[in-house]
Amino acid sequence: MWIKIYAVQHELSADVSPLQQCHAMKRIMIAATAKSGASPATVFALLKDGSTWPTWAMFDSFELERPGRQEPFGVGAIRVFKTRVSCAREEIVELIPDRRLSYILLSGFPFREYRADVDLEPTDGGGTAIRWRASFYPKYFGTGWFWRIFMALVLATIARQLASAANHHIGHNG
């Protein structure tokens, strides 16, 4: 497993307001990877079905606030994940079966334009490489350093937990 953290610096023109300059300065991008011995289909099934997350991830509860347009956990679904200290609302914006799940954060953290893409790739040994990438702007000036570190740890943990859950799933069902 690895974590990659970086920020993107944008060039600013003279006609940009100070507020726009703060917003445009640093988009935080984070990536975490993990490997599972399970197939992409097994990993994707756990990733897509939010109701399974409290059994394998750091979340205490899950709520499907709104089902997807064509299926309950499909594109357009709004998922709510809670811990003792947070409540994140996410909307699924892209699904490629057994390959990718993408979501945006609607509320719960002080971020703007948060988007995450979870890509699954088959490995030569029959397992799955999981790559979880997210990018966002911190909402409040001076907090980017904290959220960069915090979210890198969160994504790495969830990617590792997903890989482990998929391994456990094949151990019991394969």
**Between residues 62 and 174, which one has the greater pLDDT?**
62
Q: What is the pLDDT of residue 15?
A: 54
Maximum CA extent, the chain: 61
pTM exceeding 0.95:
no
Q: What is the pLDDT of residue 169?
A: 85
Structural domains in the chain, sorted by start: 3-173 (3.30.530.20)
Convert the pLDDT of each residue in 69-126 to its tens digit: 999 999 999 999 999 999 999 999 999 999 999 999 999 999 999 999 999 999 998 9
What is the pLDDT of the chain when averaged over all its residues? 89
